[in-house]
Structure 1
Amino acid sequence: MPLPQAKSSERLYDAVADYDLVITPDGPLASTLNRQLDRPHLGSFAIPPRRHAVGRREQAEDRLAFLEMVNHDTISWKRSAYAIGNILQCWEHQGTHEAILEYDTYVDDATKRAVERIGEFDTASMELTTGRLDPELDIAVIAPEMLTQLERSYLPESYDTVKLFTDEPFDLPPFRILDSATAIVDAVEDAITTENAESVGIVLDQASEYSPLVESALEAADIPFFGGPGFIDIAEHRAFLRLLRAGHYGTDTRIGEIRPLLAMLGIDVELEHDEKRLYESDIPALSWLIAFCDEIEQYTFGEALTLFENRAGCDLETFREELTTLGIVDEPITERGVDELEFYLQSYEVPVDRENEGVLLADAKSASYVGRDVVFFLGLDEGWTHSPPRRPWVDQDTQYTRNIQSFQLLLQSGDEQHYLVQDSTGGSPVTPCLYFEELLDEEFERFSDLPSTTHSQQHETASTTAFEKPPTEVTNESVETISQSTLSTYVNSPRDHYFSRLVDGPDKDYFIEGNLYHDFAEFYVNHPTFVDTDVVDEVVDLMCTEARSLVRSVDEAVLRSEYRVGLETIIEYLDEHPPTDGVFLTPASGFGKNAIAEHFDRDVGSPVTERWFEDSDLGVKGLIDLVHSRTHLLDFKSGSKKSARDIVKNSALDEPADTPNFQALLYLTYWRSREPNERLEFTFFHFLETVDEAITGDPDLEDTLTTVTYYPTTAAEYVSREAFFDTLLKEGPNDCQKTLGKIDYDMYAALFDEELLPRTTDSDELIESEFGQTMMDRLQTHVGEYKYVTKGTKQVLRQIATVQAQNYFKSDLDAFEAFIDDRIDELNRQRTGDERFPVEGLGGEPNYRYVDNRDLLLEGDR
């Protein structure tokens, strides 16, 4: 891949060694030339125009102008910053600070005032505008096309130019493709030591994920570095801003939103509390923070900083100096004041004193040259592409030329270059920096389309042995049983199931509410005569108290009404359908705690409620909410109602559904082992389904119930029975009744002897099957080829398909037992490392709406 070869520093020095002064477009390039100076030299030898103009390290003019404006003018901070940015940018491209006044669209009172202020400053830009290089000097300018108009105006009329690039080609080293940003950073860390740190440079997009990862890795390894985090990136500074912001978030602030602040303050709060509202939490460790937030407007910025320093155990004198510089150290903390402070720190780079030792971190969009022996380039993606300012004073072609030449020079920095990239992330290809389209005479969409080598944890070449990590020895107990929720998660995405076992999640309002509803149902079954209107009121109050920290305050009145309707619906159902005496069950000591029972100081020992089971022979476990009778199980649900067809569909085995759920199938499989050869029912009781109707006064309890039935026979045996035939005769569609009325049961039953009934829930598939066509032929032959016979036969077949779609039969539960065995065997192989936990489940790509750990899932076979 031929790129123009940049001249080496030695070759450049040979070309400019005899000049009095060498002007470079980049500071690091000048430093490299100065280090090679082999003769006495008075004053500067190689230097960028700005540094030469002021004779010192230049200061950030935008920040100086901004501070002058905010301390002496009443113009808002954002208007001042906008005007100053336009003026300085226009100045750079047009050569004078007053050039902005020629663009009427960008001129207002703030702009005019800023022009006046800036004109009074002794800055590098003003020196470049008013001064000139000594024409008596013998001057060489390296790559003058990379200088801005303002920088070129500083040059004398006569000077010599030196090209940066030769006509020789530069062959890019192959891109090294690694699995992730973490793997890339690990590879870089492995190659750096405290001894070679001074020889290493790292180029990255400072706005990317690589920046904090690299900084953290180097800090952890005690490897010095510079050029990294700025003033606002210092952890204590960010935490102080979060503290000020937390005082104005409002009453719905969640603990998870301020967790970085809590870490800096030394406040340890369990992850389960993340979704709770700060002001409604009863966690003692948070009392200091809550008290500060309640009284925040009574403090000045300086006082708040002192409180933070004392609490966090740090010294933020530089931050206090910056507050003084802004003139707000003694100002009371208002929300607007916090907004302005945060805007300032995000907009301007506050100088930070640091030692320039160790690894050099360079921003891909700011650097043109890195003077280190070994340079690592991380990412090289479209984030490296400059976004040229869309302003009328900017010549886009000239700016693009400067950017792409800077990119070419940057790529060739160092004696060794290592390009470490990702080929895809989040399932999508990573787009290489757009400048490669201009530089490479090849078509490509991703890095693997270009000369590259791939490195992964599974395969390392000899050249990447430094990237290898020793394997970790892990022992696992084998899985013997699986719950319905675990099975559903596993079928959707095994890897999400894996991370769900490793990563804790915060409590949710619906978890707490659902548990309390279940506790109340169990309590009511045990103490129906105790529960009256007053008790219901007390339970509603208890639910509001328990959920208050997790729900918005404005929602509490609505939730209170919903809680009451849910409790009353549970009472109504259990009054109308009380469970039978559980004498057929073995005694049970109950499962877990019951918050309602504890509140009223009563026991809940009924054997029919909260019945835990675990059967290692079947490989299943779970918790039955209510054993309604010997052949009927019931589950309380606070979510949306599903139809029987949806329940059966979502428990499909051969082609798992997009929303897999095996609860009814698993519980019925277990209960069949207790009650073999019995017709069994499983009911989902959606007690919140009729909340809206309850408010209008017209609820129907039947609308809350969905029941699926297990028949201990085959589907063909069930639908071929005389009882089913009679049901079709009496309750089937008109043409179905009319057609079957022309035959007797014996002829109907004989139809099932000729062809095997396929196990399908698709009525069209059943009609087109051999069984369906045989039924059509026999009925047309016997009754006649009438339209109603054709239509009636299809209606019979649709009724048969509906039965199969809404119920379970013996073959379904048999297949599920084998399915469980296969999943447990598969899971154990993955847990022991014999197989990977794949991202894709049995149904292919996961349904990401039901994935709990989306950020942890790397796409593909990793």
Structure 2
Amino acid sequence: MSITRSKSITTIYEECKDFDLVLVPDAPLASAINRRLDRPQFGSFAITPRRLAAKRREQAEDRLAFLQLITETDLEWKEAAYAVENILACWEFRGHIDAILEYDAFATDTIRTAVDAIAEMDTTVQRLTEYSIDEDKSVAVVGEKQLTELERSILPPEYTTIDPFTDESFDQPPFHVLDSPAAIIDTVLETITAENAENIAVVHDRTSEYGSLIRSALEAAEIPYYGGLGFTDEPHHRAFLQLLRSAHAGRDTRVGEIKPLLTQLEISIDLEHDEKRLSHFDNPAIDWFLDFSNSISTYTFEDAIEVYEDATDSQLTIFRDELSQLGIENEFVTEGALDRLEFYLQSYDVPVDHENEGVLLADATSAAYVDRPLVFYLGLDERWTHSTPHRPWVDREQYFEQNIRQFQLLLQNGQDQYYLVQDSAGGTPVTPCLYFEELLDEKFERFSDLDSMSHARATRPTQDGFKKESNNAPTKEIEAISQSSLNTYVNSPRDYFYSRLVQTPDKEHFKEGNMFHDFAEFYVNHPDQITPSTLDEIAIIILEEMKPYLRSVDHNVRRTKYRIGLETITDYLDTNPLQTDAFLTPDGGYGQNHFAEYFDKPVQSPYTEQWFENTDLGVKGKIDLVHGPTQLLDYKSGSKNSPKDIVKNSDIESPTDRPNFQALLYLTQQRSEHPDQQLQFTFFHFLETLDDVVTGNANIDDCLTTVTYYPTTHEEYIATEVIFTELQEEAYGDCKKTFSKIDYGTYQAFLDEHDFPTTRDKNELIESEFGHALTDRMVDAVGDYKYVKNGCKQALKYLLGIRNRNYFAEDLDAFETYVQDRLTELTDRHNGGERFPVEGPGEEPNYRYVDHRDCILEEGSR
């Protein structure tokens, strides 16, 4: 099957111009035919059956019926909406209002009540039911198969049908594949001007992102348009609804949640405050909102509109009229009343008057005809597919046939058609509209499988004759990178790029973590200043700093949490004093410390918050605590990880979806100062035992995760007598039993003869040549026993566990090279050598840890 060529509107007009009356399935086709009328006409010529019978413009029958039903009956709003939807739909398919009661599932008291009420209303479907066309008129019907059963019921005994299709196939234009919705919009904007806007239409799914993007782009370019804009799309209407919902959320609402409302109110608040709660955000410009929120349930909808109008110097006349239609203008703005209002606005299209000039924005699932010479089709994805109603009166095959005919007609509008699509989004192929499966003879999963042309991102031309000057700025070399920047870069270079450009709001967990870091630094410098009563005071200080981010109901719980965290830190530092007498130069108070300022005491310890920047290695950072020459410590308020997880997440060969190079980077720096010593890096998760402290079962060791660096290779380390002894005394049972029967010389000789594999997977190790050789050697030395073979497996797991929980010389050597490679990439990308890609070394980013998700255009922009 292929797409059937449709007749042009001019051809259709020529076939029907001699008839007295022409019935068509949708209003745009009627208007297009009437515009071609070349003779005087008394009364209607081309018209839809609904408009002919009703003698008025087509109205949203479901909305009007709903409004009358909630006024005249006791039905709940959702009950009324459900009843109206099904009664009108069944009426269209069966031809009479009582047909729905023939189905047991719908023969309910609610439906009967609604049927009785709707039967008394002056509706278009009622007029269709009662209407008949004069038999003395010559009647032509265009696209009869597109009419409903009720619409066909008005046809006279004799009439002429005009098929909108020819016997030929349509030579479909290729799909133009672009890399993002923004690129698609830019492509459209390259063609449209204010002068040619009347000749252009844009067809898109109104629920997609294309609607808001094309409207914004046209408005920015001062190009007129109409269509595609609903009642709740009007900025003041949308902002008013958000005002009511935010007011009910109360004083715990975050600033960022009402940013669109604040923008509409012309209140500008820096991005850094987005995560803060309004209740603790000091800004006089929003005091009226807080007062309004405190007493929202005492306002009627009419009162609330007046508050909004006063705050924005606007008039919500249409919104006020709609509230009056619903009969709720004098109801109090309770959450239940607001829920009903939002349900209504989501369920029905409230009519909005717009100037009919400029670019026509048409909905892909509405009418089939767009009478413009040039038509752009945006998306053409599965959202263009009509959903088939799951109702017993619907003939699904007939319904599908009607929709696929409409789709074919829609695709052929205009003299020129341009299909602008995406091939993938978020790394997932975009599924073309399902009707293409029926119409095209090709097998496909995405648009690039079909006749298509790929395009690089379009760019809008500069205006006013300005030309972009070349940038002759000197190149910049990136000499060092921090662990946090490296983590971000490996996850997504594009996210790293935006982190250098885009401001982000202050985050609750960062603020909380910084307060604990400041306390720990202060306590190391001034332990004599801290007493149990002081800890209570400091917990309150932290709580006051955190209140802008917290719900009021959480304050007491957080104060307890902070008190326990502070006590855990002091307990650890008291029982684990600094293990160094080495001289380090104080950093001179690098940065600020909240508690140093509060107690008016300096913090200049050479062991706390030590900044380093090593351009030879290309690394930089700040160490929370130099616990000793070979011992570093970092405070963490988050969840604890195991040593294995830490090592795994710092893998440079196969980056995980949560890369974290902190321990590896800091140990690399520490090795440069103590090259031949064993080093340790400890993560101190001081809130890990929070629940245990409450129950009295806390153990400080449960807060600690330590990874060790050995200044030797893994192969050299496992060949030591220390590890052999561990296999005899500390490994699993069969391993201890097996290796206790050989001497160290046998073990050492085996490792001298065989190279330990590079794998970090235990199954690969066991099945490797090394694994089989070890088993054979132990069977020869001990005997061919089951426990020997199992003991060898346990030994292999033990030796691999040493690798997977620790760092060795080869790990840090490889990391140093890895950092230099990344710095070379960064320098090249910073200086314009190439764009920062979305995917990092680990390929698809983990979007849970992407900070600038809205700035990233996913696969198409890579």
TM-score (norm 2): 0.92
Q: Is the 2:647–2:807 Cα contact (8 Å) retained in structure 1?
A: yes
- Residue 225 of structure 1: CA displacement? 0.8
The aligned counterpart of 1:370 is: 370
- Residue 408 of structure 1: CA displacement? 1.6
The aligned counterpart of 2:184 is: 184
- Residue 611 of structure 1: CA displacement? 0.6
Q: What's the CA shift string for 1:473-502, capped at 9, x where partnerless?
A: 676733211111211222233233233334
Q: Partners in 1 of 2:315 and 2:349 — Cα distance? A: 20
Helix, strand or coil: the match of 1:626? strand
The aligned counterpart of 2:434 is: 434
Are 2:657 and 1:643 aligned?
no
Q: Partners in 2 of 1:352 and 1:723 — Cα distance? A: 82
Q: Partners in 1 of 2:407 and 2:737 — Cα distance? A: 82
Q: What's the CA shift string for 1:315-362, capped at 9, x where partnerless?
A: 222222222232222332222221222222222222222111011111
Q: Partners in 2 of 1:172 and 1:768 — Cα distance? A: 57
Q: What's the CA shift string for 1:526-553, capped at 9, x where partnerless?
A: 1111111111111111222222333344
- Residue 653 of structure 1: CA displacement? 2.5
Q: Partners in 2 of 1:556 and 1:741 — Cα distance? A: 58
- Residue 666 of structure 1: CA displacement? 0.9
User: Which amino acid is 1:633 matched to?
Assistant: L
- Residue 746 of structure 1: CA displacement? 6.3
- Residue 821 of structure 1: CA displacement? 0.6
The 1:755–1:98 alpha-carbon spacing in structure 2 relative to 1, beyond 3 Å, is closer
The aligned counterpart of 1:597 is: 596
Q: Partners in 1 of 2:393 and 2:321 — Cα distance? A: 37
Q: Partners in 1 of 2:735 and 2:220 — Cα distance? A: 77
Q: Is the 2:87–2:115 Cα contact (8 Å) retained in structure 1?
A: yes
User: Which amino acid is 1:305 matched to?
Assistant: I
Helix, strand or coil: the match of 2:547? helix
Superposition map of 1:127-526 within 5 A: 127-250=127-250, 252-457=252-457, 477-526=476-525
Q: What's the CA shift string for 1:643-694, capped at 9, x where partnerless?
A: 3333233322333344322111111111222223233222222222222322
Q: What's the CA shift string for 1:435-481, capped at 9, x where partnerless?
A: 22222233222222221111123999xxx999xx9989676733211
User: Which amino acid is 2:618 matched to?
Assistant: G
The 1:849–1:336 alpha-carbon spacing in structure 2 relative to 1, beyond 3 Å, is closer
Q: Partners in 2 of 1:99 and 1:151 — Cα distance? A: 16
- Residue 815 of structure 1: CA displacement? 2.0
User: Which amino acid is 1:198 matched to?
Assistant: E
User: Which amino acid is 1:529 matched to?
Assistant: D
Helix, strand or coil: the match of 2:170? strand
The 1:91–1:739 alpha-carbon spacing in structure 2 relative to 1, beyond 3 Å, is closer
The aligned counterpart of 1:68 is: 68
Which deviates more, 734-743 or 602-611? 734-743
Which deviates more, 411-420 or 798-807? 798-807
Q: Is the 1:584–1:630 Cα contact (8 Å) retained in structure 2?
A: no
Q: Partners in 2 of 1:769 and 1:486 — Cα distance? A: 37
Q: Partners in 2 of 1:17 and 1:77 — Cα distance? A: 47
Q: Is the 1:481–1:621 Cα contact (8 Å) retained in structure 2?
A: yes
The aligned counterpart of 2:668 is: 669
Superposition map of 1:30-179 within 5 A: 30-179=30-179
Q: Is the 1:268–1:285 Cα contact (8 Å) retained in structure 2?
A: no
The 1:36–1:589 alpha-carbon spacing in structure 2 relative to 1, beyond 3 Å, is same
The aligned counterpart of 1:826 is: 825
The aligned counterpart of 1:695 is: 694
The aligned counterpart of 2:623 is: 624
The aligned counterpart of 1:20 is: 20
Q: Partners in 2 of 1:391 and 1:842 — Cα distance? A: 51
Which deviates more, 449-458 or 845-854? 845-854
Q: Is the 1:300–1:330 Cα contact (8 Å) retained in structure 2?
A: yes
User: Which amino acid is 1:70 matched to?
Assistant: I
User: Which amino acid is 1:645 matched to?
Assistant: K
The 1:420–1:802 alpha-carbon spacing in structure 2 relative to 1, beyond 3 Å, is closer
The aligned counterpart of 2:532 is: 533
The 1:528–1:417 alpha-carbon spacing in structure 2 relative to 1, beyond 3 Å, is same
Q: Is the 1:644–1:706 Cα contact (8 Å) retained in structure 2?
A: yes
Q: Partners in 1 of 2:720 and 2:294 — Cα distance? A: 73
Q: What's the CA shift string for 1:833-859, capped at 9, x where partnerless?
A: 323433333234334443334452512
Q: Partners in 2 of 1:799 and 1:93 — Cα distance? A: 72
User: Which amino acid is 2:560 matched to?
Assistant: S
Helix, strand or coil: the match of 1:330? coil
The 1:335–1:138 alpha-carbon spacing in structure 2 relative to 1, beyond 3 Å, is same
Helix, strand or coil: the match of 2:161? strand
The aligned counterpart of 1:578 is: 577
Q: Is the 1:482–1:619 Cα contact (8 Å) retained in structure 2?
A: yes
- Residue 701 of structure 1: CA displacement? 1.9
Q: What's the CA shift string for 1:805-849, capped at 9, x where partnerless?
A: 333333322222111111110122222332343333323433444
Q: Partners in 1 of 2:243 and 2:139 — Cα distance? A: 54
Which deviates more, 268-277 or 848-857? 848-857
Tell me the percent identity: 56
Helix, strand or coil: the match of 1:171? coil
Q: Is the 1:590–1:611 Cα contact (8 Å) retained in structure 2?
A: no
Are 2:804 and 1:805 aligned?
yes
Q: Which runs of 5+ in 1 are unaligned?
A: none
Q: Is the 1:77–1:340 Cα contact (8 Å) retained in structure 2?
A: yes
Q: Is the 2:686–2:703 Cα contact (8 Å) retained in structure 1?
A: yes
Q: Is the 2:187–2:458 Cα contact (8 Å) retained in structure 1?
A: no
- Residue 181 of structure 1: CA displacement? 1.4
User: Which amino acid is 1:678 matched to?
Assistant: Q
Q: CA RMSD in A?
A: 3.1
Count of residues in correspondence between the two structures: 857
- Residue 22 of structure 1: CA displacement? 1.4
Helix, strand or coil: the match of 2:623? strand
Helix, strand or coil: the match of 1:191? coil
User: Which amino acid is 1:160 matched to?
Assistant: T
Helix, strand or coil: the match of 2:481? coil
The 1:3–1:812 alpha-carbon spacing in structure 2 relative to 1, beyond 3 Å, is closer
Q: Partners in 1 of 2:144 and 2:769 — Cα distance? A: 83
Q: Is the 2:67–2:326 Cα contact (8 Å) retained in structure 1?
A: yes
Q: Is the 2:28–2:369 Cα contact (8 Å) retained in structure 1?
A: yes
The aligned counterpart of 2:845 is: 846
The 1:156–1:799 alpha-carbon spacing in structure 2 relative to 1, beyond 3 Å, is closer
The aligned counterpart of 1:587 is: 586
Q: Partners in 2 of 1:28 and 1:777 — Cα distance? A: 84
Q: Partners in 2 of 1:767 and 1:120 — Cα distance? A: 82
Q: Which runs of 5+ in 2 are unaligned?
A: none
Q: Is the 2:23–2:141 Cα contact (8 Å) retained in structure 1?
A: yes
Q: Partners in 2 of 1:535 and 1:793 — Cα distance? A: 56
Which deviates more, 106-115 or 750-759? 750-759
Q: Partners in 2 of 1:796 and 1:133 — Cα distance? A: 93
- Residue 636 of structure 1: CA displacement? 1.2
Helix, strand or coil: the match of 2:111? helix
- Residue 192 of structure 1: CA displacement? 0.8
The 1:578–1:75 alpha-carbon spacing in structure 2 relative to 1, beyond 3 Å, is same
TM-score (norm 1): 0.92
- Residue 50 of structure 1: CA displacement? 1.8
The 1:197–1:790 alpha-carbon spacing in structure 2 relative to 1, beyond 3 Å, is closer
User: Which amino acid is 1:359 matched to?
Assistant: V
